[in-house]
Amino acid sequence: MYKKFILATIAIFILLFTFLSVNRGYFIQNWSFTPFKAYEFELSNLANKKISFKHTPGEVVLLFFWATWCPSCKDDLHFFSEFINSMKNNTVRFISISLDGSSQIVEDSFKSLMFTPNFEVLIDTNGDISAMHDVYSVPETFLINKKGIVVKRFLGSIIPQEKVFLQELNELLTSE
Beta strands 92-98; 60-66: pairing state? parallel
Peptide bond into 117 cis (omega under 30): no
Q: Is 42 helix (H, G, I), strand (E, B) or coil?
A: strand
The pLDDT > 70 percentage for the chain reads: 84
pLDDT digits (tens, 9 = 90+) for 41-63: 999 999 999 999 999 899 999 99
pLDDT digits (tens, 9 = 90+) for 93-134: 999 999 998 889 999 988 888 888 888 999 999 999 999 999
C-alpha torsion angle, residues 67, 68, 69, 73 (rounded to 10): 60
Q: Does the pLDDT at position 28 exceed 50?
A: no
**pLDDT number for residue 70:** 93
The confidence band for 21, taking pLDDT boundaries of 50, 70 and 90, is low
pTM: 0.80
